[in-house]
């Protein structure tokens, strides 16, 4: 290792999509994961900042899409227009290339286009039919050449997957196929319905090997005057990928959450209070710590030693007083 020159990670989307790396986006059909990749490509095509990112690329970046489920004329092009894309910086390959056998053809297209972002949607459509996508060894053997190509070319590769049919469980295991997909990815994300607002969606990290785990981001799918969908980004939230996969609450759990929400609104109405004090008061009211923490996140109550409702965040003065 003494001969290895250290390098810093180069990001297309800070702490989310890295150059030269493989990233996975998982989600159910119709929840916005493909629309999200079009939104990112549109921003890159215009050298605009990506969501929650203050700076933008100095020049427009080109994206190469591998798409086989959506029609280019009535779906992809109108959605790119709605997102404000400079379409000359976005190329789409409709040939159903098979990985790893036809990886050299994919590499040739990347070089021809000058793409810095490659999106394969859906990823499993481009995995050779001879590969058992539920077998770890076979998936690694098929995708390792793709991962190596991304590193060699310095291009970010994003694979889009549907979720499996399981209900509940950890988000890391909900993507269709083997866990090897996430194992090979340096970053992985899940798109799901916001449990607090069914009209919104959440992009949450399930894995991040190259950075601290980024904030989850909320967005909403809205329509333009031309009746085309586009994304409206709503900012960070506390909802985790595992919460997006959670089994819907029973009536009993919903009732407990309602009681906890009323409790927190009441005890915090006069200002911030120490978390430990709230736990004791909640216990006396037969509210579990687990329910209290879950509702705290839903109400966007600040974390740390002091809890406060969103309209009254704790200041350094209140923190100092609480510590006395």
Domains assigned to the chain: 11-245 (3.40.50.300), 251-323 (1.10.10)
Q: Are 218 and 231 in contact (CB under 8 A)?
A: no
| Structure-token pair, residue 257 | 């959450």
Neighbours of 189 (CB within 10 A): 27
Q: What is the pLDDT of residue 321?
A: 43
Q: Cα–Cα distance between 165 and 174 in angstroms, integer? A: 8
Residue 251: the pLDDT is: 59
Residue 52: which region, alpha, beta or left (left: phi > 0; alpha: psi -120 to 50)?
A: left
Averaged in consecutive runs of 10 residues, what is the pLDDT profile of the chain (324 residues)?
94 96 95 96 97 91 95 96 97 94 97 97 94 95 97 97 86 92 96 88 95 93 93 93 76 76 88 90 86 83 82 49 43
Residue 121 to residue 73: CA distance in whole angstroms: 17
- pLDDT for 318: 44
């Amino acid at each position: 290792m003494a001969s290895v020159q250290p390098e810093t990670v180069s990001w297309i989307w800070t702490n989310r999509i890295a150059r030269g790396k493989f990233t996975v986006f998982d989600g159910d059909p119709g929840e916005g994961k493909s629309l999200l990749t079009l939104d990112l490509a549109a921003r890159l095509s215009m050298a605009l900042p990506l969501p929650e990112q203050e700076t933008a690329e100095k020049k427009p970046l080109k994206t190469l899409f591998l798409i086989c489920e959506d029609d280019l004329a009535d779906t992809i092009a109108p959605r790119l227009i709605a997102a404000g894309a400079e379409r000359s910086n976005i190329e789409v390959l409709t040939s159903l290339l098979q990985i790893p056998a036809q990886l050299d053809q994919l590499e040739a297209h990347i070089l021809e286009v000058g793409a810095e972002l490659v999106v394969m949607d859906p990823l499993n459509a481009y995995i050779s039919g001879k590969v058992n996508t539920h077998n770890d060894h076979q998936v690694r053997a098929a995708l390792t050449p793709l991962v190596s190509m991304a590193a060699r070319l310095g291009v970010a590769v994003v694979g889009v997957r549907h979720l499996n049919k399981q209900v509940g469980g950890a988000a890391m295991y909900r993507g269709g196929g083997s866990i090897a997909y996430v194992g090979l990815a340096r970053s992985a994300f899940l798109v799901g319905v916001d449990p607090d607002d069914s009209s919104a969606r959440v992009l949450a990290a399930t894995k991040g090997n190259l950075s601290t785990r980024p904030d989850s981001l909320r967005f909403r799918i809205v329509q333009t005057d031309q009746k085309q969908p586009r994304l409206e980004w709503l900012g960070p939230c506390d909802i985790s990928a595992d919460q997006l996969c959670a089994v819907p609450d029973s009536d009993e759990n919903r009732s407990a959450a309602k009681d906890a929400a009323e409790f927190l609104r009441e005890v915090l109405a006069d200002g911030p209070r120490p978390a430990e004090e709230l736990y004791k008061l909640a216990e006396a009211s037969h509210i579990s710590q687990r329910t209290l923490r879950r509702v705290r996140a839903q109400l966007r109550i600040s974390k740390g030693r002091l809890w406060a409702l969103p309209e009254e965040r704790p200041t350094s003065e209140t923190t100092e007083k609480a510590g006395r």
